[in-house]
Structure 1
Amino acid sequence: MRLQSRAPGHEAAIEARLFLPPGPGPHPALVFLHGCGGLFTREGTVNARETDWAARFNAEGVAVLMPDSFGARGTRSMCAPADFDLGLYRARPWDAYAALAFLAARPDIRADRIGLVGWSQGGGAVLLTIREDDEARPAGLARDFRAAVAFYPGSCRPGGLRRPLATRTPLLVLVGEEDAWTPAGPCRTIVEAAAAAGSPVAIHTYPGAVHDFDWPGLPRRARPDFRTGAGIVPVTGMDPAAREDALRRVPEFLLPRLRE
């Protein structure tokens, strides 16, 4: 299926994959925002991280929609600094709201019970999307995202969001304490400042965990091909303890808000 994203300068009919739970509904739903490597493997299948989470939420009666922000715009990956497109990254909140509108129009979806989840650059897009002052937010929005989760989000550092985080959407941020790509310390500063200012946000960090800690079966390894502009070599890989906690913590955070 296709969603019409109206991001200025990056308008596109983007592909999306919908995973529905059994039964006629109406179901609560989640929008998933993929990371810098895109939604699909080189073989054209959806990444294991996203399909694993989708299956778990489908088992709880929650539909999942995954928009592909890259394919229709001729991009495969934005993980290396040379491949990063700031304009496309800033366009992703429009993709999220296009997904929200698509789901809300379906009779098998509860239009007032739609949440948002993102990983890495997609996690950064979550932080942008739920801000009260984001330019992608539709005027007169009747039903906003019910809650949001951002895994190891990009832009979660001083200056990365351009303006302080301020939102009315309940948000949970999860970061590994050994994540060199999206460090926990600066992200904690951002989230705690937002919480102190009254936003319903919280952060949980995992000792010893690195980037992609929830990706099932992902071997831990350095990624010199994605060396940052500051010369940092990211390390990615599953962390069993962090993954086990996230598999419990995220549904405990989201499901009551999607069902109440």
Structure 2
Amino acid sequence: MANIHPTAIVDPQAELDASVAIGPYTIVGPHVKIGAGTTVGPHVVLEGHTTIGRHNRIFQFGSIGAANQDKKYRDEPTELVIGERNTIREFVTLHVGTVQDKAITRIGDDNWIMAYTHIAHDCTVGSHTTLANNATLAGHVELGDWVTIGGLTGIHQFVKVGAHAMVGFASAVSQDIPPYMLVDGNPLAVRGVNVVGLRRREFGDARIAAIRQMHKLLYREGRTLEAAREAIAALAQSAPEAAQDVALMGSFLAAATRGIAR
């Protein structure tokens, strides 16, 4: 049997692995599934059609899988899906999706989600991200892998943040942020390339040089977005070691829907 504190209330229909630990006064609803090795602290509410993977750590006072804050929501059986090895700190709120979109809010693996973070309906968060205290994601936001969001930052609905990008403290994000960029402010501005993050992930000098060149083509030469995209695509020939980075940037720019941050 799972290690369930006697004061916790766990619906008998909930599916908990035998190695799950549930803290005092926590509530687990009937449609919740929790994988092996996950620990849930005291005073957490787990509800909705929520699936939580293996080896997550959920701290006290979280609200996980609650009905979303979309006024169109009518208690449809939409989902929240959380991957593996995530750390979810105090007072985090994660909501289920809506039928108007994917009907799933999805969190990947190995994310570090700090206190008071809010992830709204239909968001997709990749893996290895860091969301500092009070980061707020509106509905339908997409974060790529290895994204870092600074504390007290708000992200507008439908915004996409590309992989390896970093958003600084107390920023207001209303446009898409291309991969690898370093941005901050209100109004938001692109400051350069997230070089420190890339070096921590063992990007070599040649790849970083190519990414710097993509930044230059996008932001320093007065090109139109289409002209910049064409020039970036050509880098795959001159810098083959960065071909995957060029492809990532190209696909992101092609899919941007809110215009890119300048």
TM bin, normalised by shorter chain, reads: under 0.3
Higher strand share: 2
Larger radius of gyration: 2
Quick one: higher RCO (CA 8 Å, sep 6+), 1 or 2?
Answer: 1
Higher helix share: 1
Relative to the length of structure 2, the TM-score reads: 0.23
Relative to the length of structure 1, the TM-score reads: 0.23
